[in-house]
Amino acid sequence: MGKVAGILLQAKRNFYVSRSIPSDLQHRFNKRKIEISLRTKSEAKAAKSAAALSDRLESYWDSLRMEMIYSRELGLKVLQETKPCTTGEYRLSDALALYHRLKGGGKTKLFYDVSKRSIRYLEECLGHDNLTSPQEGHSTRHCKWQRAMSHNVNQR
Burial class (CB in 10 A: 0-12, 13-18, 19+), 11: exposed
Tell me: the pLDDT tens digits for 102-125? 888 888 999 999 999 988 888 887
Tell me: the pLDDT tens digits for 53-62? 889 999 999 9
Phi, psi of 138, rounded to the nearest 5 degrees? -60, -45
Residue 110: predicted pLDDT: 94
State the Cα–Cα distance between residues 20 and 13, nearest whole angstrom. Answer: 22
Torsion of CA 68, 74, 79, 80, to 10 degrees: 30
Compute the 3-state secondary structure of the chain and give helix, strand, coil in percent, each to the nearest 5: 55, 10, 35
Give the global pTM: 0.45
